[in-house]
Amino acid sequence: MNVVEKILRAHLVEGDPAKDAEIGIRIDQTLTQDATGTMAYLQFEAMGVGRIKNDLAVSYVDHNTVQIGYENADDHDFLASVARKYGIIYSKAGNGICHQLHLERFGKPGTTLLGSDSHTPTGGGIGQIAIGAGGIDIAVAMAGGAFYLPSPKVRAIRLKGRLRRGVSAKDVILKVLERYGTKGNVGWIFEYTGPGVATLDVPSRATITNMGAELGVTTSVFPSDDVTRQFLTAQGRGRDFVRIEPDKNAKYDDEFVIDLGKIEPMAAAPHSPGNIITVASMKGVRVNQIMIGSCTNSSYRDIRTVAQMLKGRHVADDVEVGIACGSRQVVNMLAADGSLAILIKAGCRILENACGFCIGAHMSPATNAVSLRTNNRNFEGRSGTKSAKVYLVSPETAAASALSGTFTASKGTTPVPAPRRFPVDDAMFLYRDTAGKGVKGAKIVRGPNIAPVPKGVALPRDVKGVVAIKVGDKITTDHIMPAGARLKYRSNVPEYSKYVFEPCDATFHDRCMDNKAKGIANVIVAGESYGQGSSREHAALCPMYLGVKAVIAKSIERIHRANLINFGIVPFEFEDPADYDAIEQGDGLTLDGIRSAVEGDGLLVVKGDRRSFKVVARLSDREKRLLLCGGLLASL
Ligand code: MIC
Ligand code: SF4
């Protein structure tokens, strides 16, 4: 067996992984972050379970930490009170970014982790099957329920050789993205294997599995080997180590070989993590801003590397350089070894160890600026500046470019050795003593920013609708439900719903509310790979609130498709993608017999104003049940 099979088989509760159908797995650990967590816990509360039923649940606060106005702070208080009541560990704002912290302090090889954040696969760096999902799926897992996924196909990414100086893990994952792109990978898990694996430390492995999210795969995983053991031992968690390696004759559905020694510094050009170029091809082009950090590249290894490169030098006059570390542990280590002083002296702006710039919460670049960033997404406008050109690069490229003020490939620096002992301080993880048990009768704190979760209604027999919006290919959940300045409304669905599709068409909300008032259903028409990116279930929940009953797309990405079903929106695909061209925004659509189509084989003939066309929703029995009663919450 390969690593994926070993872990999935040990957690299987339903289905047969050998068949091309849905399987159900037991979830050992869950994580949430504040921006998706409030909704996840409101839904958990609505399930009426007295305390968590899985092994470990951690609630992190890392996204909404800017606290302009009362909303973010209201959310934090709510999350802390929920954690105490239900036996969840609470990570205070300032402790760090969920994925970095979970890797450091909780992730265990051979276990399953479900997180309400698409970069949860960071845990794959220590041999964990770590999957991103919508908040309500996390709520179900905390209540002891299974998580369902299509039985995965496994691709071996066979690594050989060793990286050259100046080249690092970010360049490896950009190479994989160059080969496989950001669409068409739904249902796959990428398993890293081969002799090159042993040359990569845990933070590097985690960078690679983290950004596997951009491929749209279910998750990515490395084996758990001596390097993993060393990392866990240095974190004082040697007891959590188990060895999990593929059998000698392990089989895979496909294979891709990468010679690490041949990789050169790479970049993802605007506006997709799949637009891959080499740094050399941009040599000399001026850069205005450089942001280092995010859950992809914010480990001690990464920031120490940057400090070594900036030592005794100063960043170019006309660039702005910001650094956000992944955790308090990282900051403490940099403070202790003098790196922090080097970075300050070099003219870097030291930011809070949180998501911050990555989610467009602050540090937006200037109009038309070129911004080099070590994070994982460069969707148009995500930085907060629509006209900015964001390139994703390694910490080495970022540091070399900070010094020159232009795109510069790094010549490298002395490799940072894996620390023998990390300074462990868990003081900002609260409620460890009541973890798993909770405090019966504890009060939940609910400020005015915490609104109740709306419930879906049963799917009607027929639907009379209208194309409320027609969008193109690769529409991300950042297009559907923008973050940045709007992020603070995450706990208030009626308010947040005002911004659905704001980056594409700010009139969407009003149009939908008008239709809803007239009893006309809203339908979204989209191209390929609809719903890429973030796990935010609000991209389904808010459209549900606006009366959206169906999405008709050429193809839909995994997490978003699951979220649509969880909120009672039918995810149809065109039988013939060419029909997409024959539909316009504003067209009337009649979906007669939609309920019996969902009950049956998912096939439906839609009557449009211009002509009729066929759509299909391929659904498991479980998914059919959810859709028929109006979503997961309505089904309970
Ligand atoms: C992201 O990187 O897009 C986010 C913000 O972390 C999201 C979660 C969210 O929208 O809250 C993700 O990756 O799932
Ligand atoms: Fe936070 Fe950015 Fe990572 Fe999302 S991708 S979890 S916003 S650091």
Is residue 19 over pLDDT 90?
Answer: no
Q: Residue 98 pLDDT > 90, yes or no?
A: yes
Question: Whose structure tokens read 């859950």?
Answer: 295
pLDDT number for residue 447 = 95
Is 617 touching ligand 2 by the criterion CB < 6 Å? no
Q: How far is the CA of 360 from the centre of ligand 2 (A)?
A: 10
Q: Is 50 exposed, middle or buried (0-12, 13-18, 19+ CB in 10 A)?
A: exposed
* Beta strand 12-14 pairing with 22-25: antiparallel
Measure the CA–CA gap between 126 and 199, rounded to whole angstroms. Answer: 14
Strands (E), 222-319: 254-259, 266-268, 276-278, 289-293
> Which CATH number belongs to the domain containing residue 608 in this structure?
3.20.19.10
Q: Is the CB of 487 under 6 A from ligand 2?
A: no
Strand partners, 553: 526, 573
User: pLDDT tens digits, residue range 537-579?
Assistant: 999 999 999 999 999 999 999 999 999 999 999 999 999 999 9
Greater confidence, 453 or 314?
Answer: 314
Asked whether residue 378 falls in the same domain as residue 287, the answer is: yes
**Terminal Cα-to-Cα distance of the chain (whole angstroms):** 37
What's the CA-to-centroid distance between 376 and ligand 2, angstroms?
8
Q: How far is the CA of 32 from the centre of ligand 1 (A)?
A: 11
**Any atom of ligand 2 within 6 Å of the Cβ of 375:** yes
Contacts of 13 by beta carbon, 8 Å cutoff, 6+ apart: 24, 25, 26, 146
Instruction: Please list, in sequence order, all residues whose beta carbon lies within 8 angstroms of the beta carbon of residue 134, skipping any fewer than 6 positions away.
Output: 36, 116, 535, 536, 537, 540, 559, 562, 563, 566
**Is 210's C-beta closer than 6 angstroms to any atom of ligand 1?**
no
| 255 and 333 assigned to the same domain | no
**Looking at the 3D structure of the chain, how many domains does it have?**
3
Residues 214 and 284 both lie in one domain: no
**Cα dihedral value 333, 122, 35, 557, nearest 10:** 160
**What is the CA(318)–ligand 1 centre distance, in A?**
31
Task: Show which of 244, 262, 280 is a domain's final residue.
Answer: 262
State whether the beta carbon of 122 lies less than 6 angstroms from ligand 2.
no
Q: How far apart are CA 165 and CA 163, in angstroms?
A: 7
Q: Which atom of ligand 2 is nearest to the CA of 99?
A: 6
Q: What's the confidence (pLDDT) of residue 244?
A: 98
The CA 196 to ligand 2 mean position distance, Å, reads 27
Sole residue written with tokens 């008032």: 517
Residue whose structure tokens are 């193109």: 472
With both helix axes pointing from N to C terminus, report the angle between 226-234 and 202-211 in degrees, rounded to the nearest 10.
100
pLDDT digit string, tens, across residues 135-152: 999 999 999 999 999 999
Which residue's CA is the closest to the ligand 2 atom numbered 1? 355
Nearby residues of 582 by Cβ (< 8 Å), 6 or more positions away:
608, 610, 611, 613
Assess whether 248 and 335 both reside in one domain: no
* Pocket of ligand 2 contains residue 119 by CB under 6 Å: yes
Paired with 229 in beta bridges are: none
CB-CB neighbours of 30 under 10 Å: 29
In a domain, 436, yes or no: no
Give the number of whichever ligand sits closest to the CA of residue 98. Answer: 2
What percentage of residues in the chain have a pLDDT greater than 90? 98
Range of the domain at 43: 3-262
Checking if the pLDDT of 20 tops 90, the result is no
Q: What is the mean pLDDT of residues 607-615?
A: 96
Closest ligand to Cα 352: 2
The answer, yes or no, to whether any atom of ligand 1 lies below 6 A from the CB of 35, is: yes
Has residue 547 been placed in a domain?
yes
Q: Is 376 exposed, middle or buried (0-12, 13-18, 19+ CB in 10 A)?
A: buried
For residues 216 and 272, state if they share a domain: no
Contact 59, 87 (CB under 8 A): no
CB distance 271 to 283 below 8 Å: no
Among candidate residues 384, 404, 424, the one where a domain is terminated: 404
Compute the mean pLDDT over every residue in the chain, rounded to the nearest whole number: 97
273 and 136 housed in the same domain: no
Does residue 218 fall inside a structural domain?
yes
The DSSP string of 543-609 is: HHHTTEEEEEES-B-HHHHHHHHHTT-EEEEESSGGGGGG--TT-EEEETTHHHHHHTTSEEEEEES
55-90 pLDDT, tens digit each: 999 999 999 999 999 999 999 999 999 999 999 999
Contact 339 CB / ligand 1 (< 6 Å): no
Ligand 2 binding pocket includes 209 (Cβ within 6 Å): no
From 61, 116, 295, give the residue whose CB has the most ligand 2 atoms within 8 Å, as the site to mutate.
Answer: 295
Q: Does any domain span residue 425?
A: no
User: Does residue 184 share a domain with residue 109?
Assistant: yes
Confirm whether 542 is domain-assigned.
yes
| Residue 563 placed within a domain | yes
Determine the average pLDDT of the residues in 625-635: 95
Residue having the nearest C-alpha atom to atom 2 of ligand 2: 358
Q: Are residues 285 and 258 in the same domain?
A: no
Shared domain for 75 and 137, answered yes or no, is yes
Residue 634 CA, ligand 2 centroid: distance in Å: 30
Is the full-model pTM beyond 0.85? yes
Amino acid, res. 42: L
Q: What is the pLDDT of residues 364-397, one digit of tens each?
A: 999 999 999 999 999 999 999 999 999 999 999 9
77 in the same domain as 30: yes
Task: Name the domain boundary from 223, 245, 262.
Answer: 262
- 397: Cβ–Cβ under 8 A, 6 or more apart, which residues? 265, 267, 279, 372, 407, 408, 409, 410
pLDDT score for 636 = 86
Cα(324) to centroid(ligand 2), Å: 12
- Considering every ligand atom, which ligand is closest to the CA of 135? 1
Residues 219 and 179 in one domain: yes
Whether 245 and 323 share a structural domain: no
User: Which of 446-450, 507-511, 624-628 has the least mean pLDDT?
Assistant: 446-450
Q: What is the CA radius of gyration of the chain?
A: 23
Residue 353, judged by CB atoms within 10 A of its CB (0-12, 13-18, 19+), counts as: buried
Considering the domain boundaries, does residue 183 fall inside one? yes
Residue 521 lies in a domain: yes
Q: CATH code at 33?
A: 3.30.499.10
Instruction: Name the token pair of 444.
Output: 């939940």
Cα(187) to centroid(ligand 1), Å = 20
Check if 328 has its Cβ closer than 6 Å to any atom of ligand 2.
no
Any atom of ligand 2 within 6 Å of the Cβ of 214:
no
